[in-house]
Amino acid sequence: PQFIDLMQPVEVTEGQTATFECTVKGYPRPSIEWFKNGLPLKENERIASTYEGALSSLTINQCTIDDEGNYKCVARNSFGKASCATELLTNLNGTHTHPPHFIDKHFETAPAEVTEEGDVRLEVRVGGHPKPSVQWLKDDEVIISSPHFMVSSHADVHTLVINSPNQDDIGQYKVIASNHRGMASRTFDVNVEGKPKPSVEWLKDDRPVLSDSHIKMTEEDDIYSLTIREPTKSDEGMYTVKITNDVGSGTRTFDVKVEDTTTNDSFVPFESTEEGNVRLSVKITGKPVPEVSWTKDEKPVHKIQNIRLDHQDDIYTLTIREATPNDSGSYKCTLTNDAGKSTRTFSVEIEGETKPEKGKPTEREGKPLEEEELPVSAETEVEMTAQVTGKPQPSVEWFKDDVPVSPDEHITITEEDGTYSLVIKEPTKKDEGTYTVEVSNEAGLGRRTFDVSVDDTRKTIPKDAVKPKFIEDGSFVPFQSTDEGDVRLTVKVTGKPEPEVTWTKDGKPVDKLPNVELDHQEDRYILTIREASPDDSGSYRCTLTSDVGKS
């Protein structure tokens, strides 16, 4: 279904009539349902809907304030649904009224402002008619104005100031504005830092920790950190950070356990294979089992095309396939669990000239576009295709018996979404030979060969023969998605003699796809994708072939 003319907002005075209208089309003809504020609308003596032709309308007689809200029209048929929505505003006694709203920046959660004196100031501007009443709340409790919490209003500006804030003032603050038309609210998260700035001390088993080459203590903004480099069993213990100022003190405790994550010499940590691959391996241990991640030059490796990650038992491996100088860099393996973190770094240097990354021309599936003979015998038409990708974009050229082929009335050469095709119409013996599609770029060359033989023994075509074609008469649904998650594609065909029907996905036969089923009933042919998933996305083609021609 599709809405052609959308509904417009309606504003009326109490007692008047409100009418919503919209135009919808669809096949099969959709059903219509109305909603108010997200709930199905119940019709009565005042409220009634009509649906004539393509025009759907809703009429509300003698409107009241209670009729205000958002109204939505939903159209449904077997292919899906569509909707359009608008609002109804009802004014009292001819006076325009509006629900409360915030006039300043549009956000629901706002930051708190800290004054030069260290106080916290929360402020909003509120509009609406009649003028809304405004309340402030902390943790859902109403705030009463006091020397500590100062609540004030001036025109449309409403303010809450927290004087000399302390730890008890931490929490969520909310301002609520309301009138008979509705309500609006905004929240503020208030977090009070230590004042004056606290002193910080680190302890291990209740003894002060001193910074040295093994232990590093840092402070950045309000974040304090203690880092133990290459921890050993002697570093195990109870670590405490103690924070103190004139107001009081606070502590946080960390129980540090150190597991042995050293590697074993019974495997090869760095290996270069005869195929030009580079393999980096680590053997790990830890409880709980650590999470393993790899980076190259501090960036995750999962987006690098020629890198493969694998593991067997406690050995984790990174393989650089067909390594080039572009793959040189610092590779790091990081182990992480609740007990801590450990890293191992490999410096990989591959000699040679660094070149921009390129990709040798290949088929879309990633297979090499190598020489391959595909014998073709023809009667009415010969079609040769190859699906190609490459980086940079490859150039494509067709040859017959090593002589370039040019398109004409007899031969057409096309390209669509990476699929390159050569078609010979009504081939004769002169068209026999070896055809080659050659694809090349700076990274390499790929080719595919087709041996074309033409049988001159033509079949006699009856005078009443009819070329195969598809019928679209509205008697069937060409595309259908079922409740079970299946997708069904249907065609209706004709032709004499009866044509042969074949299906392909992205240019390849579908008979090897495990979740695709083919069926036909009289002149209807059906392809069903069982439990369709994103992997099933693609271009599906149905081809009709007979002695008379192809469609």
pLDDT per position as a tens digit, 450-465: 888 877 655 566 777 7
The pLDDT, as a whole number, for residue 44 is 93
Mean confidence (pLDDT) of the chain: 81
Whether 295 shows a pLDDT value over 50: the answer reads yes
Lowest mean pLDDT among 136-150, 276-290, 375-389: 375-389
What digits encode the pLDDT tens for the residues 519-551?
A: 888 888 888 888 888 788 888 888 888 877 777
**Given CA atoms 100, 101, 103, 109 in this order, what sign does their dihedral have?**
positive
* Residues whose CB falls within 8 Å of the CB of residue 188, separated by 6 or more in sequence, listed in order: 109, 110, 111, 112, 122, 172, 173, 174, 175
DSSP string, 387-417: E-EEESPPEEEEEETTEE----SSEEEEEET
Bridge partners of residue 83, in order along the sequence: 74
**Given CA atoms 260, 262, 266, 269 in this order, what sign does their dihedral have?**
positive
Whether 368 shows a pLDDT value over 50: the answer reads no
pLDDT-derived band at 435 (thresholds 50, 70, 90) equals confident
User: Tokens 């042969």 label which residue?
Assistant: 500
Instruction: Considering only the C-alpha atoms of the chain, give the largest distance between any 2 of them, rounded to a whole number of Å.
Output: 107
Percentage of the residues of the chain whose pLDDT score is greater than 70: 86
Domains of the chain: 2-91 (2.60.40.10), 98-190 (2.60.40.10), 199-256 (2.60.40.10), 278-348 (2.60.40.10), 359-367+377-452 (2.60.40.10), 466-550 (2.60.40.10)
The pLDDT, as a whole number, for residue 456 is 61
What digits encode the pLDDT tens for the residues 212-251?
A: 888 888 887 678 888 888 888 888 888 998 888 765 677 8
Contact 169, 122 (CB under 8 A): no
